[in-house]
Amino acid sequence: MRSTEILCTLGPSSFDKRVILRLDELGVGMFRINLSHTKIEDLPSAIAFVRSCTDVPICLDTEGAQIRTGNFVPDRIEMRENSLVRGYHYPVAGDTAGFNFYPRNIVGKFRIGDFISIDFNAVLARVVGEEDDAVVMRILHGGPIGRNKAVTVDRDIPLDALSQKDRAAMRIGSDNGIMHYALSFASGPADVDEIRHLAPKNAFIIAKIESSRGLANLADIARSSDALLIDRGDLSRQLPVERIPRIQKVIIKTAKEHGRTVYVATNLLESMVAQPIPTRAEINDIYNTLLDGADGLVLAAETAIGRHPVTCASMVARIIREYESRDEYSPLDYPMDAVSMLVPPHGGHLVQRHAVAGEDDMIARLPTLRVEDSTLLDCDQIAHGTYSPLAGFMRRETVESVIESNCLPDGTVWSMPIMLPVPKQSPVVGVGDRFALVREGDDMVYAYIDVTETYTLDLERLSEKWFGTASLAHPGVSRVLGGGDRFIAGDITLVERLRSPYSHYVLMPNQSRFIFAHKGWSKVIGFHTRNPIHRAHEYIQIKALEDTGADGLYINPVLGPKKPGDFLPGPIMRSYQAMLDFGLFPANKVVLGGFDTYSRYAGPREAVFTALCRKNMGCSHFIIGRDHAGVGNFYEPDANRRFIEGVGELGITPVFFDTIGYDPVTNRYAPINSNADMLAIDGTRIRQALRDNTSVPDWMIREVVQDVLQREIAAQGTVFDS
């Protein structure tokens, strides 16, 4: 359980339901509404909108005793060095000749000789004259200034702790049950008492330390408030920036001495306002801020106006997780996934079963078992953790538990028997033996197995339980009944992977997880397929992305052997690659990777199995269509949903879709049962058109994809498995 809080400021980049939901899912503990950048008339609707998205508490952050540039018309004004400009008592449009400040009466408190720093020291001016309606300022350091930007004067000008806008906002907050308030520019305990008097009873008051006066009265402010917030940005406008790290430590220490929560804000991930990846200095700063004792971290511009609000929050959560797990792992021997925000693997960790250096002589002396490629593909996936928590081929007890109860003997959900049939003409196999696994016509050792059990099974009963039928018309049944009834159990160790012409697409779980983490994804949708992409699949992929608000989509077609008449893997992968090449998927939202396994055609059981495999690959969600992993008419339309609802907690969220059709009137796609006039996207028709060297309408399968498939036929003679 994470103890360090994350506070996120809402703004134009994050006032979106999907973004707020993602921030909630990442564990954000409070949403901040900055009154300096929120119109008072917009505040009630802003509170209502956030409340409609999440139960996470809202904090109203006051303007406080702060001077700002006015809300003038241009986005920014370029101040020329050594020019004279006027600061007006009243609102003006704003240009290089003059502009106004806020509060409106503040100009009357400026005095000749005052140095005025504007917009985080972008511009430095000095008051050189006074007029009836303005002060005259000489620009000593030129540059751009924006509207509603912070202003600092080199002497202390007393200001009210709360502006009129703050008071109105607090009335709105109280009426709406807001119980968290942040006081900007707290200068002493009286300021805290004032906001506490206006806030609802038992409200949580955060005093922001962002001025030299606040720092001077730090202990008294700590005693009067419920928490302190260090605004390093505003502090650095009044104090030398090189002193801020030391001051941060002093404030945190003082907060701890008074039993107060302490938050740190400003420039945590400033580079991520524009870039998707932080600097190493920012990561180091956040980690050391946590070491200082900070109880919470506040994202401001990063989530309010930045391009990557969810990625920023995810990065902070990852750093917090790294910090809070620092005693669990050695920094020199650290699991790759230890601080990942991705869904944990099934069973808690990725199984890894690989031969180590120095085993060559032992392996060369082992007796051999000649096995099918499907067995070696299973070895590959076991060894790389795709089938976690399995470490080898199942014992009889495990198979029985899976086919009867859809779980492993320890209660972990699992739906697919993973078995090693005793090869024909095999040597005698006994418990405690170790065998090298090789393939027909190839003496290379791909794996070895440590035998823990041999057993027999009733294959017809197995087929009925596994596939729901014992019909030889079912390809999965045909495969099982065509083999022997004797099986070997035992853990495997991978020596060599099967070579694949599609190896550049294959991603093992640790690799897909690495890619997702690198992209800053934590909510990933997996998609399993054994077909080239057509419009129905395209629709459900994009719809799932939109409906879940996921960070990305992992398209993961099967590359291994399938039944005759199914599509070959090359055309499938090239169809998706064409979609990516032509920019037909949302930018930076899709990863394409191959799954080097074979189809079992086990319908609902395979739906669960393929979902758990994608969970191990790092997916939090998984698309399941009406006929996912089925074949012919062996499974009812709602069989997948009914089965999944009955197996228990998967740890990956299924995203169900019914059959999708096309409405020619609206030119849209939707579940076909919602409109009887919708046109079906017919896989049989697509296959026949490819065999006849004809085309189907673009609404069924994109022209660019058809072109890929037709070129494949011209080059290879077919796109189908034989």
Residue-wise pLDDT tens digits, 32-63: 999 999 999 999 999 999 999 999 999 999 99
Residues of the chain with pLDDT > 90: what percent? 77
Note whether 363 and 332 are within 8 A (CB).
no
- Range 160-181 average pLDDT: 95
Task: Give the C-alpha separation, 454 to 487, whole Å.
Answer: 6
Q: What's the average model confidence in pLDDT over 218-240? A: 93
Q: What is the pLDDT of residue 399?
A: 98
> Cis peptide before 74, with omega less than 30 degrees from 0?
no
Secondary structure class of 608 (helix, strand, coil): helix
**pLDDT reported for residue 453:** 97
pLDDT category, 93, cuts 50, 70, 90?
very high
Reported as type and span, the H/E element at residue 100 is: strand 98-102
Domains of the chain as residue ranges with CATH: 5-64+161-324 (3.20.20.60), 67-153 (2.40.33.10), 360-494 (3.10.400.10), 509-595+599-716 (3.40.50.620)
CA dist 240 → 115, 232, 234, 254 (Å)? 16, 11, 11, 21
Cα torsion through 453, 458, 459, 461, rounded to 10: -120
β-bridge mates for residue 407, sequence order: 413
- Residue 501, pLDDT score: 87
pLDDT in tens, 372-415: 999 999 999 999 999 999 999 999 999 999 999 999 999 999 99
Structure tokens belonging to residue 100: 């106004």
Torsion of CA 611, 613, 619, 623, to 10 degrees: -30
Provide the sign of the torsion angle of the four alpha carbons 593, 597, 599, 602, taken in this order. Answer: negative
SS3 125: strand
Q: For the chain, how big is the Rg over CA atoms in Å? A: 32
Query: Distance between CA 32 and CA 182 in Å, rounded?
Result: 9
Is the predicted pLDDT of residue 676 greater than 70, yes or no?
no
Q: At CA 349, angle to CA 348 and CA 353, rounded to 5?
A: 145
Give 656-667 pLDDT, tens digit per residue.
999 899 999 899
As a residue count, the chain comes to 722
pLDDT of residue 156: 82
pLDDT at 452: 97
What are the residue numbers of the active site?
529-531
Give the model confidence (pLDDT) of 584-641 as tens digits: 999 999 999 999 999 999 999 999 999 999 999 999 999 998 777 778 889 988 899 9
pLDDT digits (tens, 9 = 90+) for 290-347: 999 999 999 999 999 999 999 999 999 989 988 998 877 666 554 555 556 899 999 9
pLDDT (0 to 100) of residue 335: 54
DSSP one-letter code for 136: E
Q: Does residue 354 contact residue 494 with C-beta atoms inside 8 Å?
A: yes
What average pLDDT does range 494-510 have in this prediction? 91
Amino acid at position 654, single letter: P
State what percent of residues in the chain have pLDDT above 70: 97
Angle at 616 between CA 611 and CA 619, to 5 degrees: 65
What is the pLDDT at residue 238? 82
Cα–Cα dist 118/146, whole Å: 9
Residue 718's DSSP bridge partners are none
| CA–CA separation, 260 and 283 (whole Å) | 25
In contact, 392 and 491? CB cutoff 8 Å: yes
Sheet of 552-557, strands arranged across: 590-592, 552-557, 524-529, 621-624, 653-656
For residue 518, give the nearest of 271, 278, 273, 268 by alpha carbon: 278
pLDDT for 334-370, tens place per residue? 455 555 689 999 998 999 999 999 999 999 999 999 9
Q: What's residue 1's pLDDT?
A: 47
Instruction: Using CB atoms within 10 Å of the CB of residue 263, give its burial: 0 to 12 exposed, 13 to 18 middle, 19+ buried.
Output: buried
DSSP code of residue 273 = G
Q: Report yes or no: 97 and 215 within 8 Å, Cβ to Cβ.
A: no
The answer for residues whose C-beta is within 8 angstroms of residue 39's C-beta and 6 or more apart is none
Q: Which of 225, 286, 290 is nearest to 261 (CA)?
A: 225
* Mean pLDDT rounded to a whole number for the chain: 92
Q: What distance in Å separates the CA atoms of residue 490 and residue 434, rounded to the nearest whole number?
A: 9
Instruction: Sort strands 442-456 and 392-393 into parallel, antiparallel or unpaired.
Output: unpaired
314: left (phi over 0), alpha (psi -120 to 50) or beta: alpha
Strands 261-265 and 296-299: parallel
- The rounded distance, in Å, linking the Cα atoms of 320 and 340 is 11
